[in-house]
Amino acid sequence: MVRKLLSPRWILIHIGAASLILLMLNLGLWQLHRLDAKKSFNSVLRAHTSTPLQTLDQAVPTKWNKAANEWVRVRITGSYDSSKAVTVINRSQDGSAGYDSTVPFTSLNNRTILVNRGFVPLAMPTPSVPTGQLEIVGYLRASQSRSALGPIDSTDTGNTEFQRFDVPLISTYVGGTVEPMFLQLITEIPKPNSQWPAKVPLPPLDEGPHLSYAFQWFFFSMVALAAWVVVVRRKLSQVNASVQAQTSA
């Protein structure tokens, strides 16, 4: 009877079932890994955003360190260079499509950093940039890089539209020495009269659906295992019934 389950057709069924079960188990483990990563990120975000407000020189005196400095709040006094403003396109916020207005800001001690001033809906023109000396407060953010399937940015030095906050690439347009991170704006002092650009909110501090997704994948793997057992037992029953019929005959 066992040999019936070792025919080429049944071997393919066994391999397919085992592969499917292993795939779903690994997807469940992957979701648990993403949950751990989300918890770790939330912990860092809470810790860094609650640190006392610092100057850029206090937060990053020399070398930028993403693990130690990202999401730390800093204040900088200086001025924008609106002639080098760019947009980061394909953004969405509160259900609206748009772009983020990004402008280089140079401090009084000549440190230039890209500032994400916030979100602007597609239907609106780019808001004017404050002139003269002012103080800005924002979160330090790490430069973003393209994923394997992400859209490709133009490398033309005259390009002013970018898919992400790729600081080294945007710096080729801005020119000069630009800090390796960017600033996500919280407020400008004095505060502008317009509500645009709208400030980009912090990432949500929930744990997402990863745990429920993990349970779903584990459940599906158990269903697949149970289905394989049922099919095998049914086949064995059929073979056994056939043997008994031949014996009685």
Task: Show the tokens assigned to 63.
Answer: 């070398």
Beta-bridged to residue 93, according to DSSP, are: 96
According to DSSP, the β-strands at 134-142 and 178-189 are: antiparallel
Same domain, 137 and 173: yes
Question: Whose CA is closest to 17, among 230, 247, 234?
Answer: 230
pLDDT in the model for residue 87: 95
Q: Can you say whether residue 96 is alpha, beta or left, with left for phi > 0 and alpha for psi between -120 and 50 degrees?
A: beta
Same domain, 240 and 129: no
> Does the pTM of the predicted model rise above 0.85?
no
Residue 32, C-beta contacts closer than 8 angstroms, at least 6 positions apart: 210, 211, 214
Same domain, 28 and 55: no
Same domain, 165 and 237: no
pLDDT in tens, 187-242: 999 988 888 999 999 998 889 999 999 999 999 999 999 999 998 888 777 767 66
pLDDT reading at 243 higher than 70 = no
Question: Alpha-carbon distance 200 to 186, whole Å?
Answer: 8
pLDDT in the model for residue 11: 85
Same domain, 87 and 185: yes
**Higher-confidence position of 179 and 125:** 179
Same domain, 14 and 125: no
Same domain, 69 and 7: no
Domain count, the chain: 2
In a domain, 113, yes or no: yes
- Confirm if 174 and 106 have CB atoms less than 8 A apart: no
pLDDT in tens, 83-124: 999 999 999 998 899 999 999 999 999 999 999 999 999 988
Structural domain of 227: 2-38+209-248
Report CA dihedral (224, 226, 229, 233) to the nearest 10 degrees: -130
Residue with tokens 């393919």: 12
Same domain, 56 and 126: yes
Specify the long-range contacts of residues 56-59, CB closer than 8 Å, at least 24 apart.
Answer: 56/107, 56/111, 56/113, 56/179, 57/109, 57/111, 59/140
